[in-house]
């Protein structure tokens, strides 16, 4: 591989294609000036991101009517490229959606169930993505567990967190 930076910027369309085909992201929030990160399940709904939190939790307080960012990423084993997509936007509560979501049985589950969920929508302000090839010799060996992203969950090698990669 070359020694320079081969980072490719993904188009917004490519970003949303990746977002639509994954379900777990990391949510970055600002809790009184302290950043924090939480894994979440999400859905793409139209041109926005929807997820749920437990009502009244620290996380709910940090997202409602606040600016947030979510990130997904993955590894394409066949060409040793890593990609990531970040969506930044304003999060707001969806009112009266609980019954609708439950009825539709949409696959929107938090990692930890909560009896009183808030449904939250992120209206994207900025969506960016990039892809680059993993540097030869980088320390990518790891444990056998897959990323919680569940990216290509049937083939656990597909996430950079769990590579058994052999750089050429």
Partner 1 sequence: MSSPSDESSADELSERECWEHVRAEPYGRLAVIRPDGPAIYPINAVVDHATIVFRTTEGSKVDAIRADPRVAFEVDGWDPADGIAWSVGITGLAHELVSALEGASAVELDVTPWQAGPKPIFVRITPNSVSGQRFRRIDRRDDTG
SS3 98: helix
Provide the CA 165 distance to its chain's centre, in angstroms: 23
What CA–CA distance (Å, rounded) separates 143 from 99? 40
What CA–CA distance (Å, rounded) separates 36 from 48? 22
Residues 80-99, interacting with partner 1 (CB under 8 A): 82, 84, 86, 88
- Is 151 one of the binding residues for partner 1 (CB under 8 A)? yes
- Is 164 one of the binding residues for partner 1 (CB under 8 A)? no
Tokens found for residue 122: 């992120």
**Which of 8-16, 43-51, 64-72, 92-100 is the region at the interface with partner 1 (rule: CB under 8 A)?**
64-72
What CA–CA distance (Å, rounded) separates 131 from 140? 17
For partner 1, the binding residue among 12, 44, 98, 110 (CB under 8 A) is 110
What CA–CA distance (Å, rounded) separates 57 from 29? 13
- Is 102 one of the binding residues for partner 1 (CB under 8 A)? no
For partner 1, the binding residue among 10, 22, 49, 127 (CB under 8 A) is 22
For partner 1, the binding residue among 13, 45, 111, 123 (CB under 8 A) is 111
For partner 1, the binding residue among 10, 59, 120, 122 (CB under 8 A) is 59
92 CB-near residues (< 8 Å, 6+ apart): 64, 65, 120, 121, 123
Residues 23-52, interacting with partner 1 (CB under 8 A): 23-24, 26, 28-30, 33-39, 41
Cβ 114 to partner 1 shortest distance, Å: 4
């Amino acid at each position: 591989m070359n020694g320079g930076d081969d980072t490719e910027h993904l188009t917004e369309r490519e970003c949303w294609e990746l977002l639509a085909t994954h379900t777990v992201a990391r949510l970055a929030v600002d809790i009184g000036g302290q950043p924090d990160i939480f894994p979440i399940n999400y859905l793409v709904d139209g041109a926005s991101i929807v997820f749920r939190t437990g009502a009244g939790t620290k996380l709910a307080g940090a997202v409602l009517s606040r600016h947030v960012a979510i990130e997904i990423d993955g590894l394409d084993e066949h060409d040793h490229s890593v990609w990531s997509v970040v969506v930044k936007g304003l999060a707001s509560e969806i009112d009266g959606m609980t019954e609708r979501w439950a009825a539709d049985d949409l696959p929107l589950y938090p990692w930890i169930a909560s009896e009183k969920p808030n449904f939250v929508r992120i209206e994207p302000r900025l969506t960016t993505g990039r892809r680059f090839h993993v540097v030869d010799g980088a320390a990518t060996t790891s444990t056998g567990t897959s990323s919680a992203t569940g990216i290509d969950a049937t083939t656990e090698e597909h996430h950079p967190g769990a590579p058994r990669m052999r750089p050429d």
